[in-house]
Amino acid sequence: MKKIINDPADVVVEALRGLAAAHSGILRVVEDPALVVRTDAPVDGKVAVISGGGSGHEPLHGGFVGPGMLDAAVPGAVFTSPTPDAVQAAVEATTSAAGALLIVKNYTGDVLNFETAAELAGAEGTEVRSVVIDDDVAVADSTFTAGRRGVGGTVLLEKIAGAAAERRYSLDDVEAVARRVIGQVRSIGVALTPPTVPHAGEPSFTLADDEIEFGIGIHGEPGRERIPAEPADQLVARMLAAITEDLPFERGDRVLLFTNSMGGTPQVELYLAHGIAERLLAEQGITVERRLVGPYITSLEMQGISLTLLKLDDELVELWDSWVNTPALRWGV
């Protein structure tokens, strides 16, 4: 394992120090428990939007802290959800009388720790709600499983819920918008290479040179199947089909298309894939009205991409377009 680190145990806190140094005008960092907090929090009369989860998915979530998006991010250890006391500390640091919305990805650890934190905060009289995002079409969703994973759709959810809160929507209304996004967003990912978790020191899985993992999770955990590597046209078509069949997305739908690098895939391949996805969607009569292309929810240095489609309506477009000022997403400022 070659990585630009000192001690694997210090990776998260040292990275947070760098984040704070680079973006001190927007956010501040607390080291124990680890938190990334918007500098002007708590903002009076505004619902606090808080998210978090394991580190290693940067810029998710710390890179999305700032006006127009998240009030706080709670980073856990690499690929490990944060603890309830850290989440509770984020609630305390950011929540005004307007209350707080916690955005939770559907992983057992995240759900358990955030639920416990919401209970603790509620017991202290703070109004805290939480929503669980589960947009990954790669995995089974039944009463006998933990349900679908929360993946790329999280980025879009955080932006839109953050914009709603910035516009002083009530807690009820921010929550309602968030639930609408969750109902209308679907994703799938593929991996070409594994990530290496710093404390583990070796790759999370192995793939042959001519193999790809179809339906990869954001921690490098497998999803649907291993398939032979194939040209981008076929791969992107396969990915889009998995998404569009699921909701389903249909002719006449307006969508946001989010093409994401899992960390190790260069821009040239990312734009190449995005171009194919745009063309295929146009052929299906699905209108791509908004786009996001880049590494926004990553899995350390894993090569691969994910595609996310969000079905849009006028309000979601307006909230997506609304100004945002964070390290990783910034427009309209």
Partner 1 sequence: MACDANGTAGAIRAAAAVVTEHRTELIDLDRAIGDADHGENLNRGFTAVVSALASATPETPGAVLKTVATTLISKVGGAAGPLYGTAFLRAATALGDRSEVDLEGLVAALRAGLEGVKARGKAEVGDATMVDALAPALEAAEDAAKQEGADISTVLIAAADAADRGCESTVDLVPRKGRASYLGERAVGHADPGARSTALLLRAFAEAAR
Question: Is residue 205 a contact point for partner 1 (CB under 8 A)?
Answer: yes
Closer CB to partner 1, residue 199 or residue 279?
199
Closer CB to partner 1, residue 132 or residue 256?
132
By CB under 8 A, what part of segment 251-290 binds partner 1? none
Is the backbone peptide bond immediately before 42 cis, with ω within 30 degrees of 0?
Answer: yes
Decide: 133 and 157 in contact? Cβ < 8 Å. yes
Closest approach of partner 1 to the CB of residue 142, in Å: 9
Question: Is residue 204 a contact point for partner 1 (CB under 8 A)?
Answer: yes
Element (H, E) at 190: strand 185-191
Question: Is residue 222 a contact point for partner 1 (CB under 8 A)?
Answer: yes
Which string of x and - marks every residue 103-122 that binds partner 1 (by CB under 8 A)?
A: ----xxx--xx--x------
User: Cα(197)–Cα(194) distance, rounded to whole angstroms?
Assistant: 10
Question: Is residue 92 a contact point for partner 1 (CB under 8 A)?
Answer: no
* Inter-CA distances, 134 with 123, 152, 156, 229, Å: 27, 10, 13, 27
Listed ranges 20-28, 57-65, 145-153, 305-313: which one lies at the site for partner 1 (CB under 8 A): 145-153
Closer CB to partner 1, residue 12 or residue 276?
12
Question: Is residue 51 a contact point for partner 1 (CB under 8 A)?
Answer: no
Residues involved in catalysis:
57, 219
Question: Is residue 1 a contact point for partner 1 (CB under 8 A)?
Answer: no
DSSP character for 189?
E
Closer CB to partner 1, residue 96 or residue 116?
116
**Other Cβ atoms within 10 Å of 121 Cβ, number:** 22
Question: Is residue 312 a contact point for partner 1 (CB under 8 A)?
Answer: no
By CB under 8 A, what part of segment 123-142 binds partner 1? 138-140
Q: Can you say whether residue 164 is alpha, beta or left, with left for phi > 0 and alpha for psi between -120 and 50 degrees?
A: alpha
DSSP strands (E only) in 200-315: 211-214, 225-228, 254-261, 287-294, 304-311
Decide: 223 and 189 in contact? Cβ < 8 Å. yes
Question: Is residue 193 a contact point for partner 1 (CB under 8 A)?
Answer: no
Instruction: Kindly tell me which residue out of 26, 38, 59, 79 binds partner 1, with binding defined by CB under 8 A.
Output: 79
Closer CB to partner 1, residue 204 or residue 265?
204
Question: Is residue 85 a contact point for partner 1 (CB under 8 A)?
Answer: yes
* Structure token digits, residue 154: 């999280």
Strands 100-105 and 185-191: unpaired
The Cα angle at residue 219 between residues 262 and 302, in degrees rounded to 5: 35
Residue numbers at the binding site for partner 1 (CB under 8 A): 54, 76-85, 107-109, 112-113, 116, 138-140, 144-146, 149, 197, 199-200, 204-205, 217, 219-223
